[in-house]
């Protein structure tokens, strides 16, 4: 359902944000593939080994561990933030809801069950497990994707680590052994800390700074102490 002042857009303009970021994702992934191939080949050259083609590199564990370790931390960030913002507030931040509204809120506020409107999703009205599941679906999907990509990060990291072990004339390790290696935890923590920094910075910057026209910011003239308004 459109609001009264919502213009009629075609598919591209209606989905411009998703399409732009989808395109940027593919372009930057391609950039990672090309620069990663060049980086690996510089190392291959130093070791007197044959260079790899781009296809060889993008099907290697070295490429996928780098991809997965970044993806898992992004999904962890959103998973933690989605759940944390249910229960925690930051006064004055457009990233937070109003102090006093901590918790899962009432059915009326959430428009579920008998309070669902004609335009509400079917499962918001259905009640039972379907409403319960829809009510947590964003966090659950983010958490599920985190576990999936973190597992993939562990497996690809294990394969890449063992390749490096052999290149350094050392014995390979088991998957359980790799989970106890500093390499795995260093890869995880170095990504996690940057995500926590980014979210924490955004939360507090949104109190005092503005970006006119962005829903990630409060309207420019809104007071610093005003929480939960976006413009």
Nearer to other proteins, 50 or 114 (CB): 50
Q: Based on the shown chain and the rule CB under 8 A, indicate whether residue 169 belongs to the binding site for other proteins.
A: yes
Q: Which residue among 62, 93, 153, 203 contacts other proteins (CB under 8 A)? A: 62
Q: What is the DSSP string of the chain?
A: ---TT-----HHHHTHHHHHHHHHHHHHHHHHHHHHHHHHHHHHHHTT-PPPPHHHHHTSHHHHHHHHHHHHHHHHHHHHHHHHHHH---TT-TTSPPTT--SS--HHHHT-GGG--TTS-HHHHH-HHHHHHHHHHHHHHHHHHHHHHHHHHHHHHHHHHHHHHHHTT-----HHHHHTSHHHHHHHHHHHHHHHHHHHHHHHHHHH---TT-TTS--TTS-TT--S---
Q: Which residue among 165, 202, 204, 222 contacts other proteins (CB under 8 A)? A: 165
Least distance from C-beta 45 to other proteins, angstroms?
10
Q: Which residue among 61, 93, 125, 188 contacts other proteins (CB under 8 A)? A: 61
Nearer to other proteins, 73 or 156 (CB): 156
Q: Which residue among 36, 58, 60, 94 contacts other proteins (CB under 8 A)? A: 60
221 Cα distance to chain centroid: 30
Q: Based on the shown chain and the rule CB under 8 A, indicate whether residue 50 belongs to the binding site for other proteins.
A: yes
Question: By the 8 A CB rule, do 202 and 217 touch?
Answer: no
Identify which range of 4-12, 56-64, 78-86, 183-191 contacts other proteins by CB under 8 A.
56-64
Q: Based on the shown chain and the rule CB under 8 A, indicate whether residue 48 belongs to the binding site for other proteins.
A: yes
Q: Which residue among 118, 171, 215, 223 contacts other proteins (CB under 8 A)? A: 171
Nearer to other proteins, 65 or 76 (CB): 65
Least distance from C-beta 40 to other proteins, angstroms?
10
Contact footprint for other proteins (CB under 8 A): 46-50, 52, 60-62, 159-160, 162-163, 165-172
């Amino acid at each position: 359902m459109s609001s009264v002042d919502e213009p009629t857009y075609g598919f591209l303009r209606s989905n411009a944000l998703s399409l732009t970021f989808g395109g940027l994702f593919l372009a930057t992934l391609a950039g990672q593939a090309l620069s990663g191939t060049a980086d690996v080949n510089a190392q291959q050259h130093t070791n007197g080994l044959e260079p790899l083609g781009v296809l060889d590199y993008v099907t290697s564990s070295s490429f996928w561990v780098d991809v997965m370790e970044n993806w898992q931390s992004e999904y962890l960030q959103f998973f933690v933030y989605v759940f944390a913002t249910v229960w925690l507030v930051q006064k004055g931040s457009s990233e937070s809801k109003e102090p006093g509204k901590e918790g899962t809120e009432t059915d009326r506020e959430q428009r579920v069950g008998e309070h669902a409107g004609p335009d509400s999703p079917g499962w918001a009205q259905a009640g039972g497990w379907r409403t319960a599941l829809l009510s947590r679906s964003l966090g659950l999907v983010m958490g599920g994707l985190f576990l999936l990509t973190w597992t993939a990060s562990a497996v690809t990291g294990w394969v890449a680590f063992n390749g490096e072990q052999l290149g350094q004339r050392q014995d390979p390790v088991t998957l359980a052994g790799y989970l106890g290696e500093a390499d795995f935890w260093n890869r995880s923590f170095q990504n996690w800390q940057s995500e926590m920094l980014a979210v924490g910075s955004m939360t507090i910057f949104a109190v005092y700074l503005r970006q006119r026209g962005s829903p990630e910011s409060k309207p420019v003239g809104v007071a610093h102490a005003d929480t939960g308004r976006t413009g």
